[in-house]
Structure 1
């Protein structure tokens, strides 16, 4: 069998591919990773799932002026190291695999919009545009892959709604990669010195690992393509002050990757502690939903508005809390008793089956228990959100984006 060398494109026998490719990187610390990618290329001819045709492979980012954000992150590297990094990127662009997901005819957000419009009573909803639901699979990522699935959902929105994002994301492939391919992209982001502190938690390796990730890794991955991914931390004044005294976090830094969201064995709490936590929870609920409502409302126009539902041009929100993460695609407000409005988050959960979501939304029966989450369910002490501002960063901004910081909202 004949294969192309991923480095020089010379046709060689597949059995000799590793030895040939090794000659390009003698005495190079990156040899092992390059060989793994070379093996993927060698298998591409026999694997129909691997996308390596000319219509999907754009080559190295540095050859495309539209990918200015990605190429500029090489600045300051030794020339040889930059070349190796570009070669890794070029290989991954050709070898990455499209994520398999169930497409919903008509679009899942159109079905949700129809359900919201059909509800009785007085309500007003703000929702994102197009998004695909990516579910966790028992055979692949059940129990640990929710973070990657939320990245896939957010990426599906960006690829559909933003021409700029489509040109730079995943080498311009135009599709959402599977989890192993996303893990490779995150490692490349770390190699570009994005989030060096966070990468140390994983010892700079994530490919093939069944490890939880969070908003920090989502922002790191998207920022490495030049996208302006932002993180917002919601934390109580008491718990934030306590963490600051212990030296565990700074007010302007995302904690990441999952430290403060992992379930720990804590001692029993007194009644006064429980009462204080209830008060914190109520404050946190209102601060969080107010922020989310204002976020989606700030991107709304009357172009696609109906009396009940308005489409926002804002990206969905990667929503992280203790033990799980989901994707917020909108928010609903109903007039409550007196002057108090009642808010409900509209979410897509990777833990739900896409088939169940489509069936209930299409029939308009039972969809609320899968999509709606009332404010009373928001009882965690901390939350993180990740969203993406429009535009592509220039070279100077790319350097700033390498440090993953956050906006801290205390309650």
Structure 2
């Protein structure tokens, strides 16, 4: 809690108030405090009074989400202007208190090593990969078994912070780094407080900080949309139940198992479900529709459209890749041309938070055994449902942000 000193009117932690006030009775300290109070009074109209050593665990709970700060600090001016209003104390406190997530640095970068491996492979393959991304692994003592969703958010965030200047300005209050899981949990709670994904948040009772709960694409999209980023969800569904979901009927929370989201509003494409089913049966067999979509997604963002290079880099974000029980990050896709009229073969290129970063670096650097960690063929896609989340370019305006509060998706049947 924050209290004002009765002597100099400086705001300090309540627990430190008595010590601070007693310090006024020491002559030297009194002079310094009076000078500080004078300086703060002059700057009061343009800067927040923030507690530099605030602890994250008490940061959000100490303030009401409706409280108003006196102004945003200059270091977060881009974030403040994005929302067109001063930051409230809840957000200001978290910006200061959030902690940088731990990540094992890979010299040269994981994507550079992956590109080198793909370029030295034999055969007539063509690959498209994302730009920079850091691999964030799950840690046994912290999040093993439940934290994969948060780790994928961290990986996607590392890409956005490096590749998109407009996102760097506003993500996590302009901090410039990827926060740890507890900090991300706080950001998600704030997004819920601001009425993003009100239906889905009720499943968590609007509380996720400190909880070992699975999350999925909806929470990923909610987090990024809160910052004004255009996070999109695509549903790939082969189950009969999708007919019910097409009508925007949401299942009860008791029927939600694992991170696969059932609350998301699934929008029909232009064709009817029967037409899509017929088309799937004729020309898009099985999970091929998913890898076709992934190829087209990355291909639409590559700079070299000639297709002559063995490996090209796309400006598209990596894909948060969710299925029942686990989630990973798709960082690219490889295609091998079919011979004598046979179908082209696709292989997803994936970073799994369940793998150790050290193992990933070792195999990529030695060019031995990396395929088993990174490559996933169509035959491995055996789940009835998949969800992808990606982030479009640009920053949403205030009107669009209101629309982004409702988490929806595009439904693709396969």
TM-score between both structures, scaled by the size of structure 2: 0.76
Post-superposition offset of 1:16: 3.6
2:405 is the alignment partner of 1:402: yes
2:42 is the alignment partner of 1:41: no
Cα distance in 1, alignment partners of residues 147 and 15 from structure 2: 35
Alignment CA distance shift 1:389-1:382 (3 Å) = same
SS of 1:314's equivalent? coil
Task: Give the aligned partner of residue 66 of structure 2.
Answer: none
Q: Is the 8 A contact 2:232 2:389 kept in 1?
A: yes
2:180 is the alignment partner of 1:168: no
Alignment of 1:228-307 (within 5 A): 228-236=230-238, 238-241=240-243, 247-248=249-250, 258-259=259-260, 283-302=285-304, 307=309
Higher Rg of the two aligned structures: 2
Q: Is the 8 A contact 2:132 2:162 kept in 1?
A: yes
Task: Give the aligned partner of residue 10 of structure 1.
Answer: 10
Cα distance in 2, alignment partners of residues 11 and 303 from structure 1: 58
Post-superposition offset of 1:294: 0.1
- Unaligned 5+ segments in structure 2 are 21-49, 57-70, 263-280
Task: Give the aligned partner of residue 392 of structure 2.
Answer: 389
Paired residues in the alignment total 346
Task: Give the aligned partner of residue 372 of structure 2.
Answer: 369
| Runs ≥4 residues deviating over 6 A | 3-9, 303-306
Give the RMSD, CA atoms, in angstroms. 3.4
Task: Give the aligned partner of residue 38 of structure 2.
Answer: none
Alignment CA distance shift 1:283-1:306 (3 Å) = closer
Cα distance in 1, alignment partners of residues 181 and 194 from structure 2: 20
Cα distance in 2, alignment partners of residues 302 and 351 from structure 1: 33
CA deviations over 1:39-93 (Å, ceiling 9, x no partner): 993459xxxxxxxxxxxxxx84899563368625x7xxxxxxxx8x710100000
Cα distance in 2, alignment partners of residues 172 and 18 from structure 1: 34
- Unaligned 5+ segments in structure 1 are 21-37, 45-58, 75-82, 250-254, 262-278
Post-superposition offset of 1:240: 1.2
SS of 1:238's equivalent? coil
- 2:381 alignment partner, one of 375, 378, 381: 378
TM-score between both structures, scaled by the size of structure 1: 0.76
Alignment of 1:31-110 (within 5 A): 41-42=53-54, 60=72, 66-67=78-79, 71=83, 86-110=88-112
2:195 is the alignment partner of 1:193: yes
2:357 is the alignment partner of 1:345: no
Q: Is the 8 A contact 2:216 2:260 kept in 1?
A: no
Alignment CA distance shift 1:304-1:188 (3 Å) = farther
Task: Give the aligned partner of residue 270 of structure 2.
Answer: none
Post-superposition offset of 1:335: 1.8
Task: Give the aligned partner of residue 210 of structure 2.
Answer: 208
Post-superposition offset of 1:410: 1.2
